[in-house]
């Protein structure tokens, strides 16, 4: 079996300009994920679960493991010296690594350190999402906000770690999507899913239907379509919603389906973050043969305006996303971009 480290080194030739930095950077993410996984597996045995009583910049209550994961990923990325700064869902502003080596580094990382952390208390799978860009400011200077406000199409790499019944790290560098499963007895990630592919047509949809009354009309129409009886198209589709983006996306990646987190009356711009969640998942989806959209526009073509920008999110099997987009345009013309 080939390990994650061996696989990354083997594929280094795909990035001759990186001269090993990208390999080291992914190694730092691998290391931090193992540390976070260890603590997640101790949840309930030590004082690591529950709320801190603090709120992040989005006004959401932070969990203890949110802050723990954030600190571990930040420390691991700074220690390797291949990153000039990070932006995190748990930080109000971006964090610059201003050592001499940090200033001369080529890459920035955007990260959701612990997606779905509110599920920790009830033993539901959670994850980490990361996105890597090449800086656009001059090397040798402190990182700037514009280095992070790049459209998703400029990503160098993206991926996630899902902490579930097994721990898996899934990533892309623009050359397919590859998954590695951690052997808990050794703490080593081994290649288990090479060149992962999203089925063109799926039979599952993932959405919080409890918000149905707040959805745009196009989303309501699409849900009715999913629930109609039509055996030739495998409808009605199966509804599967975990409430952890990483877990829902991972299931759909393996089996085919669509994940939807639309705008609502109470969240007119959506809830998911463009930079920390939607762009990396969109990159993975497209590399696996799927699609990602805000209902009208390709996610990776959206020009970010702020670090914590939110957008509606439709992601998964290409045929399903196409159908959802068509209904958004047909039934919700008032929601379409002007």
Q: Give the pLDDT of residue 287.
A: 98
Report whether pLDDT(18) > 70: no
Report whether pLDDT(337) > 60: no
Q: Give the pLDDT of residue 242.
A: 93
Tell me the average pLDDT of the chain: 90
The response to whether 279 counts as a known ligand-binding position is: no
What share of the chain has pLDDT > 90, as a percent?
Answer: 75
Q: Give the pLDDT of residue 332.
A: 62
Pick the CATH number of 4-193 from 3.30.540.10, 1.25.40.10, 3.40.50.970, 2.60.40.10: 3.30.540.10
Tens-digit pLDDT profile for residues 208-266: 999 999 999 999 999 999 999 998 888 999 999 999 999 999 999 999 999 999 999 88
Q: Give the pLDDT of residue 245.
A: 96
The response to whether 154 counts as a known ligand-binding position is: no
Q: Give the pLDDT of residue 46.
A: 47
Q: Give the pLDDT of residue 303.
A: 97
The response to whether 266 counts as a known ligand-binding position is: no
The response to whether 322 counts as a known ligand-binding position is: no
The response to whether 115 counts as a known ligand-binding position is: yes
Residue 130 phi, psi dihedral angles, 5° rounding:
-135, 155
The response to whether 335 counts as a known ligand-binding position is: no
The response to whether 138 counts as a known ligand-binding position is: no
Q: What average pLDDT does the segment 134-138 reach?
A: 96
Does the pTM of the predicted model rise above 0.85? yes
* Level-2 CATH architecture, domain 204-335: 3-Layer(aba) Sandwich (3.40)
Q: What average pLDDT does the segment 303-324 reach?
A: 97
Q: What average pLDDT does the segment 99-104 reach?
A: 93
The response to whether 116 counts as a known ligand-binding position is: yes
The response to whether 89 counts as a known ligand-binding position is: yes
- Please list the residue range(s) of the chain that carry CATH number 3.30.540.10: 4-193
The response to whether 74 counts as a known ligand-binding position is: no
Q: Give the pLDDT of residue 33.
A: 95
- Please list the residue range(s) of the chain that carry CATH number 3.40.190.80: 204-335
């Amino acid at each position: 079996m080939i390990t994650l480290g061996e696989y990354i080194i083997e594929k280094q030739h795909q990035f001759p300009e990186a001269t090993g930095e990208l390999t080291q950077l992914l190694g730092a993410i691998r290391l931090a994920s193992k540390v976070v996984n260890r603590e997640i597996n101790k949840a309930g045995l030590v004082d690591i679960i529950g709320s801190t009583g603090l709120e992040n910049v989005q006004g959401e209550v932070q969990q203890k493991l949110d802050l723990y994961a954030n600190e571990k990923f930040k420390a691991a990325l700074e220690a390797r010296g291949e990153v000039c700064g990070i932006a995190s869902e748990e930080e109000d502003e971006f964090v610059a690594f201003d050592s001499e080596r940090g200033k001369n580094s080529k890459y920035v990382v955007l990260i959701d350190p612990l997606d779905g952390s509110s599920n920790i208390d009830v033993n539901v799978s959670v994850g980490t999402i990361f996105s890597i860009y090449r800086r656009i400011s001059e090397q040798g200077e402190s990182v700037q906000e514009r280095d992070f406000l790049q459209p998703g199409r400029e990503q160098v790499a993206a991926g996630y770690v899902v902490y579930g019944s097994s721990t898996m790290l899934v990533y892309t560098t623009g050359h397919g999507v590859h998954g590695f499963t951690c052997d808990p007895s050794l703490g080593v990630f081994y290649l288990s899913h090479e060149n992962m592919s999203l089925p063109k047509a799926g039979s599952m949809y993932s959405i919080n239907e409890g918000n149905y009354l707040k959805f745009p009309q196009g989303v309501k129409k699409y849900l009715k379509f999913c629930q109609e009886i039509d055996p030739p198209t495998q409808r009605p589709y199966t509804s599967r919603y975990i409430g952890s983006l990483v877990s829902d996306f991972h299931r759909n990646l393996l089996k085919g389906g669509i994940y939807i987190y639309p705008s609502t009356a109470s969240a007119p711009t959506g809830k998911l973050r463009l930079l920390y969640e939607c762009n990396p998942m969109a990159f993975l989806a497209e590399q696996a043969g799927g699609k990602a959209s805000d209902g009208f526009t390709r996610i990776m073509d959206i020009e970010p305006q702020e670090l914590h920008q939110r957008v509606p999110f439709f992601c998964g099997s290409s045929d399903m996303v196409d159908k959802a987009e068509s209904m958004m345009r047909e039934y919700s013309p008032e929601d379409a971009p002007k």
